[in-house]
Amino acid sequence: MRLIIFLQIAILLSACSNSSELQPTNDSTYTFVMIHFEAGYKGRLDNDLPIDIPEEYHTMDFGWQEYLFETAEKVVQKADNYGFHLTLAFNPQWAEYILLDNAKINTVRLWQEQGHQIAFHHHSINHPDWNGYSNDPNAINNPIPFLGNVDEGLDFIRNLAVPASVSTAMIGGLPIDLPLSYENTSENLIFAGGSQYSSFELYGPLRSLKPHNVIKNNGAKITWVTHRQLTNGLNDFTVDEALEIFKTEYINMQNDEIYGIVFHCFDYKKTEETYNNWFEFINNNGNNVKTVNEVISNYKYEIPIEQL
Ligand SMILES: [Zn+2]
């Protein structure tokens, strides 16, 4: 008898705590933060850098990465304080750099254990910071040394992320630069897209915040999601003005929309407070930043299929 009463109280208590947990949570809001880790390859050094990098880093093989790795640790730490899961999208040079040092590999393992996701970011030959990888046959004629096809670059990220697979990407230069392994895989993929030009009404139609699927010839699916770009160096907006525009848009989003923000690791170095402000804003809204993969696997609505 005493046991039954005890069980009833236990059930009652757990029911109470469940309902109080559910009430304030706006759990229909899907949100992610993707961070782009730029190549910092020769084009970045030959052209104007978007941030001032001390002279000594210019001559190092991975000077860009060496200068910014601490910033990467800092932003991940900040997200950890909130229990947020980031999507960390690396150009090949970042993975190559991290793979040279066991301590840094272990750091990335810890990030993964905390729930952060490793994704692929590719700068095509048309980007001022081309990463040297391309599927374009003319790439070997570029003054910046060609390093291999896009899959060879992607392999560095795969080696870093293992045993996790790298199924989320933001790839410039599509369709030519679609890695052959992505074209052939039967695994479902998620591609993110959206730049400053599709982030503000001033520049034209906003890119839809609803995901859509594209079915490849082999029947596997690519789910496309949008991110809004919250970056420094916009001509018409300061990063803090952009932040306020995105907050308003976030508050007004519909249940079946996904609100993704993208910024660069160097942006965090430059204006950390802006991005911390976004984290705080999401947290104050009772929400949680999830990885792109988590957002899509939790998504409750039907995703329409669109033609390639
Ligand atoms: Zn980029």
> What is the dihedral angle through the alpha carbons of 116, 122, 127, 133, rounded to the nearest 10 degrees?
140
Buried b (16+ CB within 10 A) or exposed e, 29-53: bbbbbbbbbbbbbbbbbeeebbbeb
**Cα 16 to ligand 1 centroid, rounded to whole Å:** 47
Q: For the domain made up of 28-298, give the CATH fold.
A: TIM Barrel (3.20.20)
**Cα 12 to ligand 1 centroid, rounded to whole Å:** 51
**Cα 9 to ligand 1 centroid, rounded to whole Å:** 55
**Cα 108 to ligand 1 centroid, rounded to whole Å:** 20
Mean pLDDT across 46-57:
79
**Cα 283 to ligand 1 centroid, rounded to whole Å:** 26
pTM equals: 0.90
**Cα 123 to ligand 1 centroid, rounded to whole Å:** 6
**Cα 252 to ligand 1 centroid, rounded to whole Å:** 28
**Cα 2 to ligand 1 centroid, rounded to whole Å:** 64
**Cα 37 to ligand 1 centroid, rounded to whole Å:** 6
List, for residues 84-138, the tens digit of each pLDDT value: 999 999 999 999 999 999 999 999 999 999 999 999 999 999 999 999 999 999 9
List, for residues 197-243, the tens digit of each pLDDT value: 888 888 888 999 999 999 999 999 999 999 999 998 888 889 999 99
**Cα 235 to ligand 1 centroid, rounded to whole Å:** 18
End-to-end CA distance of the chain: 66
pLDDT at res. 65: 96
Question: Is pLDDT of 19 > 60?
Answer: no
CA angle 45, 49, 53 (to 5 degrees): 85
**Cα 98 to ligand 1 centroid, rounded to whole Å:** 18
**Cα 122 to ligand 1 centroid, rounded to whole Å:** 7
